[in-house]
Amino acid sequence: MDMMKLPFELAEIVFSQLNECDIIQCMCVCKHWFNQVPYYSHKVFERLEITPNSSKWKYTKKYLLCCVGSHVTSLNILEDGNDVHQILKEFRNSNLTSLGIEYYRPPLIDCTHDETGTIVDEYKTTSAESATLLFTELRNFYSESLTKLSITHHFRCTITLLDVMENFPQLTHLTLSTSLDLDEENVNNNNNNIDFIDKTEINSKLQQPKKSSTSIYSSLIYLNIDHSFDFDLTVIPFIKHCPNLSHICFTTLNDNNFKYIYKKDGNRVSHLLDAAPNLYSFISSELCCRASEKYQSSTHSTIDDFGQSRLQSLSSLSQLESGVNNNKDDNQSLNVFILDQTDGQYVDGSLSVILKRSQQTLRILDVSLEMFTFYRISTHNVTLFNVHLPRLAVLRLSCLDIDPDWIATLLRQSPILEEIELNEVPDHLTQEIVDAISILQFLRRFIFSVYLSGITADPPTQQIDLKKWAAQTSRLQEINLYNVYPTDHMLYYIGQIPSLKKFCTNHRDGYNLNGPINLVTTYGLFAFAAELAKNKSNGSSHNTSSMSDGLQELQLKGFNTLTDTVLEAFGDVDSLTNLQISKCTITDDGLKAFVNKKAMTLKKLSLTYCKNISEDSINYAKLVFGASNVSFIQWRRS
């Protein structure tokens, strides 16, 4: 790492996984930087994240904190013990507006070993005293400036919602979670190793009449809590005293927690909507499930980052972003509902409540189960999706075994849909779904993936006709078809979609009694490339910004009928800047011809398991496009 190359106006710094040499160099650079602070932007180091891994950081860390303390407005601390309190003291003169503390533990006296050799920590304070100590310091240092607070994975520190809000009534964003797994056995046995919150006392305090007609929690707009808070006795009463609460993220750690919190009839979701009439978004997520991991980035060091990033990553819709930022909407009702869980038997009730009560305002509907845990929507809920959703813009359903006719009905009842994701569907793409999509004039993105199973091993008997897509979907920019059996006919009309910017598909490695299934021919791929090139040229005649017209990214995986002739034809698609292909039969001659055609325009080329390609032609491609823009994974012969 060359720290000297970092710019003076660095807006964010993360100290993690550095060795001693890096630390010393970083000290020297920082001393130079902060001697020059008056001459540079006041935003230098406005966000700081501390993630030390050993005691070697002690003196370096203190020096750096003293330097940057007055400039930091957002601080994340990811470490244990006394250092948290020391860091808070170092920043006592800063004007912090956002603070995140993760993996907090009370100060230790010593670590000893019991008779079995297990390490036993001895703490200086009890759980209640730890919370008092922490909040005393926070209140003394940041009682006026702090607006966002996140305390996650804390251990032996009893923190309640009231503790936080009574000390910091000006908070707009609050995240609280423990590191404990409160399964039903622990709840029933009242395990002594778990610090339980006195829910009865909290509920009693919440029910006390207010001295003023204005609630002290009126500033809170974002709440992210976990399974350690009792839904009925704590969460609902607390939410009733937060009149402006707009976003709730409720997380659980496993399926047992989910069962403890939810009921099949959806009553608790109904109570939530009653308690928060201005609620804009509700995210209920199980952190260990597949869908949550998809949205969780390595840069999201706190559960608060996860919740907000999940909401922001859903869509680039201008109306949605406006709602997230301003937490206001013309219709005071739920706009975003996200449910990521593993157990599908609790889906029916919650989903039914949401669709019935928020059908006029719902903008995003995202229901995902863990992979391989398909849940068949109950037959008695056959009318569940027969609702009119006039404002629904984003629909995502994952691992739900829903009849394709029901899905088609839901699509037809949602006229302004912009994004559709149907992931791990146990059935083939049907003509009913295709026809329903063709009438969606605002659709920009369509993803459809089939779950690989014995049921769908054979290709569909129904021929899919996409002719209407080419004629009517004027805004469709992205299509992803995974584990679908594409055909020459389908590719031909996809190539005619005028607004298409990205197309991804894979040819399934399907087999039946007659051997490998191959529904796409070399001629079909060539015709597809010809339509893409023609589509581009037709668009350019009406628009001077020719480079932005036409297909820009193409992913074709598993097509053994993709030959040199087809690859050269893709070279005639002027707008193409990103090509990713795998398991094809192209040779060195075809690749070099394509490279020569796209020498000035292609930005990324990825070749995977193309067994007829040599290192020489790959090196030639790297020379033309740049080594960092070419990815090649060699075919491994057994």
Asked if 243 and 221 count as a contact pair (C-beta separation under 8 A), the reply is no
Q: Give the pLDDT of residue 521.
A: 92
Asked if 397 and 370 count as a contact pair (C-beta separation under 8 A), the reply is no
Residues of the chain with CATH 3.80.10.10: 499-633
Q: Give the pLDDT of residue 249.
A: 84
- Give me the CATH topology for the region 73-207+215-493: 3.80.10
Write out pLDDT tens, residues 247-278. Answer: 888 876 544 444 545 555 567 788 888 888 88
Rounded mean pLDDT of the chain? 71
pLDDT band at 514 (very low <50, low <70, confident <90, very high): very low
Quick check: 495 pLDDT over 90?
A: yes
Sign of CA dihedral 603, 558, 527, 456: negative
Provide CB contacts within 8 A for 95, sequence distance 6+.
70, 73, 145
Q: Does domain 499-633 have CATH number 2.60.120.380?
A: no
Average pLDDT estimate for 287-309:
38
pLDDT band at 630 (very low <50, low <70, confident <90, very high): very high
Q: Which amino acid is located at 566 in the chain?
A: V
Nearest residue to 12 (alpha-carbon basis) of 47, 42, 61, 50: 47
Asked which of 26-40, 206-220, 514-528 is least confident by mean pLDDT, the reply is: 26-40
DSSP secondary structure letters along 15-69: EES--HHHHHHHHHHHHHHHHSGGGS-TTTT-EEEEE--SGGGHHHHHHHHHHHT
Write out pLDDT tens, residues 424-481. Answer: 887 788 999 999 999 999 999 999 988 766 544 566 767 889 998 988 888 999 999 9
Provide CB contacts within 8 A for 603, sequence distance 6+.
577, 578, 625, 629
10 is written with which tokens?
């660095």
Write out pLDDT tens, residues 364-384. Answer: 988 887 655 555 554 445 556
